[in-house]
Amino acid sequence: MADEKTVIMDGAGVKRALTRISHEILERNKGLTNVVLIGIRSGGAFLATEIGTTLALIEGEKATVGAVDITLYRDDVSGQMPHLPVGKTEIPFSLEGKKVILVDDVLFTGRTIRAAMDALMDHGRPDSIQLAVLIDRGHRELPIRADFVGRNVPTSLRENVQVIFDSANTPVEVILEK
Amino acid sequence: MAEFKHKDIIALRDLTKEDIERLLTTAENMREINSRDIKKVPTLRGKTIINLFYESSTRTRTSFEIAGKRLSADTVNITPSSSSATKGETLADTALNLLAMKPDIIVMRHAVSGSHYFLSKKLPGCSIINAGDGTHEHPSQGLLDMLTMKDRFGKLDGLKVAIIGDITHSRVARSNIQGLTKLGSQIFLAGPPTMMPPGVELLGNVTVCGTMKEAIQDADVVMMLRIQQERQGKTLMPNAREYSRYFGLNPENIKLAKPDAIVMHPGPINRGVEMSSYVVDGDQSHVLKQVENGVAVRMAMLYHVCGGELE
């Protein structure tokens, strides 16, 4: 599968996309009041931290950032042999009345987002959930769309899109594998 | 980290270091669920868990039941006083009858050591979890004890763990010895010679001490075992008072352990025999943390056996 690798976005490109998404988030929500960022483990959680840092730079106030692990909410748990390792969900604040920005690296079938929304609902009743993704590669299997998109990348089902992070969890590039 | 492929958890002896680490990590990450307002995840929806307890239990049975329910499985409890066992049904027949009801996991406690291996052979299509078998093992207790130690010290490697009391009849001690030695802890045992199984030091990094003082000297963990009157059959000690004098933990001898040592007990505690009330209720006591960790550990066990390979 990984015969051919193409870099479709480099580190600077990722940074620009995240900066634009940050501005869009602020514009849509009129600032950071009641806004919380929650990243989906593992890529989305790293990106949420990046966006949080950018938001703090623009607005001059700290953004609240959490992480959600969706393993226990997957719709294919009973098909997984052996069961996947369970990561840590870190939402040490209430979601009641919050505007949640859910962050993921690649939006594909939409099943991960469905699972993440179910997980968030179990933590309380947010005012709204908005979705921010770095890459939207299409092929949705559920009625889900993103509010903030870094780049739309048309792909075939045989291809694979991956966001690569370095050891400090900073995104370095996005690759397309054929 | 290696994948967890077992369909049964019968003894920590059967698991590798990686298997144990995987279970502990999952338990750590699942603990967050237990402090939410909505303490439930949909993971094991549609799975049926039968808790089959041939011996009395409050803590373990309740803990397994809560663990199953928090993962959205359906849990059913069967206790011998209300089951056909009192009418003379054999374990094999009970097992086949239960299997006809298509459970996914059977959690069993039984007085006969090794009965779970028998059950597992009879029921290849169902996961078996040992909730205590005779004087063999009690893996969920061993794991929750290890999680409690890991919480406090951040690691298990190099810890000095003293286990005091009736080692012979203690499945808790056996599971702890099996698990802890795999993860690099050092075990020091002390107890009346009548309650010390011969050859126990062959299990790994285990030292049998002549006195309790020797065992708890500079220990990180002091684990006290319950005197099991129901399993001992004949008297192995003169009386509770004398036992307490030589093998009881009190405000004096606990000073021999490290200043930040923790005190553990699998429960139920005979206050004034294994431990003085001062120690049970003291700052170093982690008894209730053990119970709290029990739910998370059992959730991890249920989750991983469901992903195990059925034969």
Identify the band that residue A59 occupies on the pLDDT scale cut at 50, 70 and 90: very high
Distance between CA atoms of B241 and B247, rounded to whole angstroms? Answer: 10
Q: Where are the beta strands (DSSP E) in B40-93?
A: 48-53, 74-78
Which CATH architecture fits A5-177?
3-Layer(aba) Sandwich (3.40)
Helices (H), B126-274: 139-153, 171-182, 212-216, 229-232, 240-247
pLDDT at B293: 97
State pLDDT tens for residues A136-177. 999 999 999 999 999 999 999 999 999 999 999 999 999 999
Distance between CA atoms of B198 and B194, rounded to whole angstroms? Answer: 10
Same domain assignment for residues B280 and B158: yes
Task: Give bridge partners of residue B188 from the DSSP assignment.
Answer: B162, B207
Same domain assignment for residues B127 and B187: no
3 state DSSP class of B309: coil
Q: Name residues 102-161 of chain A within 8 A of B (Cβ).
A: 118-119, 122-124
- Pairing relationship of beta strands A35-40 and A64-68 according to DSSP bridges: parallel
DSSP B192: -
| CATH code (residue B83) | 3.40.50.1370
Distance between CA atoms of A86 and B31, rounded to whole angstroms? Answer: 11
| Residue ranges in chain B modelled with pLDDT below 50 | none
Q: Please report where in the chains the tokens 């049926």 appear, as a residue.
A: B48
Q: Please report where in the chains the tokens 């590669």 appear, as a residue.
A: A137
Q: Cis bond leading into B268, ω under 30°?
A: yes
Q: Which of A69, A73, A74, A77 to mutate to test the interface with B (most CBs of B within 10 A)?
A: A77
B5 in a domain, yes or no? no
CB A26 within 8 A of CB A55: yes
CB pair distance less than 8 Å for B306 and A86 = no
Q: Could you list the residue range(s) of the whole structural domain that residue B89 is in?
A: 12-138+293-306
Q: Where are the beta strands (DSSP E) in B144-291?
A: 160-164, 186-190, 206-208, 221-224, 262-264
Q: Name residues 60-99 of chain A within 8 A of B (Cβ).
A: 69, 72-73, 77-78, 80-90
pLDDT at A9: 95
How far is C-alpha B172 from the geometric centre of its chain's CA atoms?
5
Same domain assignment for residues B85 and B19: yes
Same domain assignment for residues B65 and B164: no
Best mean pLDDT range from A4-18, A75-89, B191-205: A4-18
Distance between CA atoms of A67 and B38, rounded to whole angstroms? Answer: 18
Give the torsion sign (CA, A53, A58, A64, A70): negative
Q: What is the ipTM of this complex?
A: 0.88
Q: In what side-by-side order are the strands of the sheet with A160-165?
A: A5-10, A171-177, A160-165
